[in-house]
Amino acid sequence: MKATHKAMGFHKRRPLFWWVLCFSLCFQHHMSGCATPKPVQTPYERGLMYAEGMGVPRDNEKASKLFAEAAQQLAQAAEEGEVEAQYQLGRMHDKAYGIPWERRKAVEWFKKAAAQGHARAQFHLGEMYYTGRGVSQESRQAAYWLKKAAKQGHAGAQWLLGQMYAQGEGEVSKNPKKAVKLIGRAAQKFTKAAHRGEAEAQNALGTMYLQGHGVPLDDEKALELFEKAAAQGHAEAQFNLGMLYVDGRAVPPDETKAEEWFSKAAHQGSADIKYRLAMKYFMGDGVPEDKKKAEEWLEKAAQQGDPDIQLKLSKMYFDGRFLEKNTYKALKWLTKAAAQGHAEAQFYLGRLYAEGGEGPQAVEWLTKAAERSHAQAQHKLGELYLKGQHLPPNPQKGCELLSAALEQEEALSYEKHEATELHETFCAN
């Protein structure tokens, strides 16, 4: 049956961030806005094929070897300013392709490539600023880079920028006309690529039909596109098929088939897909509630090295609401995330060491987080300097850190009042 306004519940229950995750997969590879891919030649491109199952069976071992070879070749070229090498190194750090998962370095390489006009780097940089992945969430920076990529015809950038204009987010004023124009251009590119049989474009276009953005709202067309992409092993499309069976859109609700598609997607997919399936088992959303399976999928997701997921799992083990409380596992995953440069994880680890009286470790991790402009870490480290706790008193350093923290009022949240009082007491002069 055709979609009705009532069926829009699928979109209403899933925020724009969820759709950004779906769409971003279409632009992770060597394609620019789903353009026809070039012949595969480099170790990076061959590694990508095996990592993502693009035209070949997914093989992580082969992918890792090829990416390791690519990293050696790309490093020197990127340092010499070769723009494609900079972009590819950024992707490798962003996705942990053969090298450590370090989004700070991914951002650095994307910035260098984007500054040279590389459309895909501009898109990924804009998307990272939009979602707050690896950087502070900044709508102004997101719009700045997305506009540059969209101007070059990058379909993903056109879609996401169109969404920002549609909703009037942050520094982007609401402009329905611009939104329709940009999303329509993206839809045209997706449609052409989907007709060529490109799974990424089929999945992206399917999500657009579910939203009714740039194309008519049409659940059956979305189902058709997801099935085509899923048949090619596209993990995100498989997950989206599972969602159709959960919500009963274009198909009768079927928990068994939903779980089957979710499982297929998670067995071959990204850490994010594994995490989403774990949360479904926790909540019993479309699958039977099963905390044991949820924990298994969470562990598998964290083992893939995503520091965001490692931090989330650590918090669950500390909290004891979703999972049985386990301090050993909580510290293990928190340390892994912190070691990868995750500022929030570094802050939490430093605070734990401070509360436990282990000064050197507390100062080490709080300093690392503060150097990454983490406001709460700047506040806590500034307090230690001012009060001479765990390190020699240094009023000047303490006041500098507190001032830096107070410049980020929103990030300080509930600590703002405490930080302000501390600053007034020690730094008034």
Domain boundaries, the chain: 5-265, 342-427
Token representation of residue 52: 């993502």
CATH architecture of the region 5-265: Alpha Horseshoe (1.25)
**pLDDT attached to residue 245:** 96
Instruction: Collapse the DSSP code of 199 into the 3-class scheme (helix H, G, I; strand E, B; otherwise coil) and give the result.
Output: helix
Among 213, 174, 262, 210, CA closest to 11: 210
The C-alpha atoms of residue 153 and residue 119 are separated, in whole angstroms, by 8
**pLDDT attached to residue 211:** 87
The C-alpha atoms of residue 343 and residue 375 are separated, in whole angstroms, by 10
What's the angle, vertex CA 294, arms to CA 222 and CA 251, rounded to 5?
Answer: 25
Helices 43-52 and 60-79: angle between axes, nearest 10 degrees = 140
Q: Decide if 325 contacts 317 (C-beta within 8 A).
A: yes
Among 98, 96, 152, 90, CA closest to 124: 90
The C-alpha atoms of residue 204 and residue 160 are separated, in whole angstroms, by 12
**pLDDT attached to residue 251:** 97
Identity of the amino acid at 50: Y
Q: Output the CA torsion 180→194→145→150 (10° steps).
A: -50
**pLDDT attached to residue 40:** 54
**pLDDT attached to residue 39:** 58
Q: Decide if 238 contacts 265 (C-beta within 8 A).
A: yes
Q: How far apart are the first and last CA of the chain?
A: 71
**pLDDT attached to residue 4:** 35
Q: Which residues, including other chains, have CB under 8 Å from residue 188's CB and lie 6 or more apart?
A: none
Q: Decide if 388 contacts 364 (C-beta within 8 A).
A: no
The CATH number of 342-427 is: 1.25.40.10
Q: Decide if 95 contacts 89 (C-beta within 8 A).
A: no
Helix, strand, coil fractions of the chain, as percent rounded to 5:
70, 0, 30
What's the angle, vertex CA 186, arms to CA 185 and CA 192, rounded to 5?
Answer: 95
Token representation of residue 83: 């723009």
Query: Consecutive 10-residue runs of the chain (429 residues): their mean pLDDT?
Result: 34 43 46 50 86 73 88 92 95 83 88 98 95 84 96 95 89 90 94 92 93 92 96 92 95 95 88 93 93 95 90 96 94 95 93 94 96 92 94 94 89 85 87
Same fold, 5-265 and 342-427: yes
Q: Decide if 404 contacts 378 (C-beta within 8 A).
A: yes
pTM of the model: 0.79
Task: Based on DSSP, count helices (H) and strands (E) in the chain, helices before strands.
Answer: 24, 0
